[in-house]
Amino acid sequence: MYLTVNEKKVFASTGGKPFEKNQPVVLFLHGSGLDHTFWGLHSRFFAFRKYSVLCLDFPGHTHSDGPPLESIEEMATWVNDVIIEIQASAVSVVGHSQGCLVSMEYVSKFPELVKSVSFIASGYETPVNSFLLDAAENKPRNAIDKMMSWCFDKAGHMHQGTIPGNSMIAGGYKIMQGNVPNELFADLNACNNYKDGKKAASNIKAPCQLIIGGKDKMAPRKSTMALAETLPSSTNIEIIQESGHMVPLETPNQCRDLLKTFIFTNNPTS
């Protein structure tokens, strides 16, 4: 569905069901250069179990009006604007990678409606090396190559995927191709410049879940465990050993089962 936020068109996939503001909301926030389709299987699952689902396209990405936002702080404020626009009352936030940084900043600043937070494949900082930043700005195809190569473990490189016939790495590649050069560079630059993650994460009081890919090269274990230590001590830490960085695509069934248990518990439907 399309929303109007700050006089701009915003796209959100609702998982195949109309958005009902009176139901608990599951808000999915994608990573750098990606879009709502990243959450395909997960969004549909919750939408058909009496949750209202919003898989947003961040500004400038795929179906949402641009330009892309330039900082994680701006993105968090924008997420809050979206939540106000849809009049949600109970929100479970699910972020992947850059979406995690936005989640921690958003939940830290606007905690009132948040019932749970699921972080997937992230630390509290995401430093981006200069080669990748430069490539994203000047040679976006090279940047996508590197990101896709680093994001997926072997199964991705062998074009596997749990949806019959689908190549998850090619799907990711096609989405990113539609979001270059401006959006990908803006995203990576925003990640690189975000330095308040530790402070934001330590402010979070809502129940948290951290899902980690055992073979993640983009968010290495040292980084994700540092986030785990910063989040509330009750945080559920889950490691899916066979996954790389793209956990919701590489191991969708395990990831969804973890999200289901956590969200059903902390943000139940009536």
Eight-class DSSP state of 267:
S
CB of 159 to another protein, least distance (A): 4
Write out the binding residues for another protein, residues 170-209 only, by CB under 8 A. 170-171, 173-175, 177
114-120 and 91-96 as β-strands: parallel, antiparallel, unpaired?
A: parallel
Q: Does 15 bind another protein (CB under 8 A)?
A: yes
Comparison of 31 and 252: residue with beta carbon closer to another protein: 252
Distance from C-alpha of 36 to C-alpha of 54, rounded to nearest angstrom = 9
CB of 164 to another protein, least distance (A): 4
- Type of residue numbered 181: P
Token couple for 157 = 């490189």
CB atoms within 10 A of CB 192: 16
Q: Does 35 bind another protein (CB under 8 A)?
A: yes
Sheet holding 52-56, edge to edge: 2-5, 8-13, 52-56, 25-29, 91-96, 114-120, 208-213, 236-240
CB of 169 to another protein, least distance (A): 8
CB of 203 to another protein, least distance (A): 34
Whether the bond into 67 is cis, omega within 30 of 0? yes
Q: Does 245 bind another protein (CB under 8 A)?
A: no
From 99-107, 161-169, 184-192, 216-224, span contacting another protein (CB under 8 A): 161-169
29 pairs with which residues across the strands? 95
Comparison of 174 and 195: residue with beta carbon closer to another protein: 174
Whether the bond into 181 is cis, omega within 30 of 0? yes
Select from 8, 109, 139, 146 the one that contacts another protein (CB under 8 A): 146
Residues that bind another protein (CB under 8 A): 13, 15-17, 35-37, 40-41, 43-45, 48, 62-63, 145-146, 148-149, 155, 157-167, 170-171, 173-175, 177, 252-253, 256
